[in-house]
Structure 1
C-alpha cells in the first residue's frame, strides 16, 4: 500500500499504556496504514494536535479516550473551516464510553481502530452551547450532572459506567431539583427538574438512556426532563416499562433556551459548564465521522 493517507491518533494520556492498542497500531502499520500517535497531557493538547493534523494534511483524526476526549477533539474540529476538517474516528478508552457504545463502535482495539481509519464517513450533527462550547453526545443537568461530576475516580476505575448509578443511589437522599424555564420553537416548560437531558446521542452517565429516540444526523436535539419528586421510582419505571412515563417531559427541538434563578451546572459530554442562562442549538452535519454500517443512531 503506497502513499496511504495519514491518520493522527490523539490518545488521552490515561490510555497510552494500553497493550492491546499498541498491538493494533503495529498491525495496521504493518498492513501499510500511516498512523501517527500523539498523547495528551493537559488541557489544550487535543486542540493543538488537531492543528498539527491539519498542517500534516491528515485525512482522519482519531479520538482515543472517553466522552470528554471525543468532545475535546470534536470541538477542535468544529472550529476549522469545512474544507480543512479531517474526518473524526473514535477509539473507546474511557470509563463510560457512552457515545462510542451507543453508536456501536467495537470495544476491541483492532476492529475499532480499523473502523476509525477506513470506515465509511457520515455527516453527523453537533450541538453548540452559548456560542462557544459544544457537545457531540449529550448535555445533562440536575441530579445526573452532580452524580457524574462527583463520582470518585477510584469507583469509576473499579466499576466503569455502573459506578455512576451506584454513586447515584448513595446520593438519592441529597436530591434537590433545579427550578428553571425551558423554551424553544413551539415549546415552553417551567418547573422543578430533577434531571435534564439534551441529546444528540441517546445515553449518558454510564449507560442511562435519557434520550432513547435521539438520532445524530436528523438536525434535531431530543429533550427529556424528569419532573418527579421521587427520582428512584421514575428511573426504575423508565428502565422496566415501555409505556409513557408521566414524570418525563419530552420534545424534539432545533434550539432551546434554559433560564434559572439559580446557578445550574450542565455536563457537556462530561465537561461541566455552570451558569444561569444557556442557549443550545443544533449544527446539522457539522462533522464527518467514521461509524459502523448499521449504526442505530443514524436516520
Structure 2
C-alpha cells in the first residue's frame, strides 16, 4: 500500500480543491495522512512522524518556504529517506513552477504520490541552514522580504516586481568578497543570486542556467555600475550585459565588512560570513518527466 504524509501550510488548510483531491486518493487506496503547520518547526516534527509511520512520501503543501523546511528536514535524516512530493499552494511557487509541477491541486497531488522519484541537490549554508531553490542577497532580498502580504494576496507573483519598482529609490549595493573553486570576486553587488533552482521573486529568472541535479550552484551577480539601467534591463528583458557576473560552483564563501541578509527560499539569514555548499543528490523528489531543472 502506498503511504504518504501531506504537510500542509496553515494558510492552505481551507483549500477545497485539495480536500477533494485528498479524498479521491484515499478512495484509490492511498494511505494519506494530513498534518497542518502552525509555526516554524512544525514541518520538521511532522517529517519525523512520517518516518515513524513508515511513509514512502512526504508531501509539502505550500509555497517555497514550506518546501524549504521539509526538504531541509529530510536532508538531515539517515537513509533511506522518504521521497519529497510537492503541491504548490504559495503566492509565487517559484521552485514548483520552474520544475513544471502542475499548479492544480488534484494533478499536483497525483504527481506527488505516484510520480517518478529523481535524486536532487540541496544547498547548505553555514552547516545548518538549507535552501532547495535559491538564496538572494542585496536588493533582491529586500524585494522578497518586504513585499506586503496584501499585495502578494492581490497580485500573486507579479507583486514582487511591482514592489521592486516602487522601491527603486532604496537601491544600495552590498560590499562583499566571494570565493570558490577557481573563482574570486570582490566589489559592490546590487543583486546576488545563488541558484539551485532558476527563479525567485515571483518568476524572475535570476539564475537561468541552474540545474537541481548537477552538483553545482549558479552564482549570478548584478554589480553596482549603472545601477538603474542594469536593474531594469535584467528584470524586464533578462539581458546579459557587462554588469552581470556568472559562475557555476560546488561551494562558495561570502565575506562582508558589514551585516548582509540572504533570503533562503523566503527565510532571512543575516551575518558577515556565509559558506554555501551543494549536497549532491541528497534527497529524492517526485518530478514530472518534462522537468526543466533536470540535466
Q: Say which SS state the counterpart of residue 194 (structure 1) adopts.
A: strand
Aligned pairs (5 A) from 1:109-188: 109-188=105-184
Residue matched to 1:36: 33
Output the CA distance in 2 between the equivalents of 1:153 and 1:10. 22
Output the CA distance in 1 between the equivalents of 2:30 and 2:227. 49
Deviation per CA, 1:103-132, whole angstroms, max 9, x where unpaired? 000010101000000000000000010000
Residue matched to 1:62: 59
Task: Indicate whether 1:76 and 2:66 are aligned.
Answer: no
Output the CA distance in 1 between the equivalents of 2:84 and 2:238. 34
* 2:174–2:260 CA contact under 8 A, matched in 1: yes
Residue matched to 1:12: 9
Task: Indicate whether 1:296 and 2:292 are aligned.
Answer: yes
Task: Indicate whether 1:281 and 2:277 are aligned.
Answer: yes
CA positional deviation for 1:147: 1.0
Output the CA distance in 1 between the equivalents of 2:232 and 2:143. 17
Q: Say which SS state the counterpart of residue 50 (structure 1) adopts.
A: helix
* TM-score under structure 1 length normalisation: 0.96
Output the CA distance in 2 between the equivalents of 1:34 and 1:68. 26
Output the CA distance in 2 between the equivalents of 1:182 and 1:287. 27
Output the CA distance in 2 between the equivalents of 1:243 and 1:48. 43
Q: Say which SS state the counterpart of residue 82 (structure 1) adopts.
A: coil
Aligned with 1:226 (options 209, 222, 237): 222
Identify if the C-alpha distance between structure 1 residues 174 and 244 changes in structure 2 by more than 3 Å, giving closer, same or farther: closer
Q: Say which SS state the counterpart of residue 44 (structure 2) adopts.
A: helix
* RMSD of aligned residue pairs (Cα, Å): 1.2
* TM-score under structure 2 length normalisation: 0.98
* 2:124–2:278 CA contact under 8 A, matched in 1: yes
Residue matched to 1:48: 45
Output the CA distance in 1 between the equivalents of 2:173 and 2:235. 21
* 2:197–2:211 CA contact under 8 A, matched in 1: yes
Q: Say which SS state the counterpart of residue 95 (structure 1) adopts.
A: coil
* 2:261–2:269 CA contact under 8 A, matched in 1: yes
Output the CA distance in 2 between the equivalents of 1:136 and 1:242. 23
CA positional deviation for 1:82: 1.8
Output the CA distance in 2 between the equivalents of 1:277 and 1:144. 18
Q: How many residues align?
A: 295
Output the CA distance in 2 between the equivalents of 1:180 and 1:194. 11
